[in-house]
Amino acid sequence: KNEVEQSPQNLTAQEGEFITINCSYSVGISALHWLQQHPGGGIVSLFMLSSGKKKHGRLIATINIQEKHSSLHITASHPRDSAVYICAVRHVNRDDKIIFGKGTRLHILP
Q: Which of 19, 25, 29, 33 binds another protein (CB under 8 A)?
A: 33
Residue 41 binding another protein, by CB under 8 A: yes
Give the residue with the Cβ less far from another protein, 9 or 14. 9
Which region among 14-22, 57-65, 66-74, 86-94 touches another protein (by CB under 8 A)? 86-94
Is the separation of the CB atoms in 68 and 85 below 8 Å? no
Residue 61 binding another protein, by CB under 8 A: no
Peptide bond between residue 8 and the one before it cis (omega within 30 degrees of 0) = yes
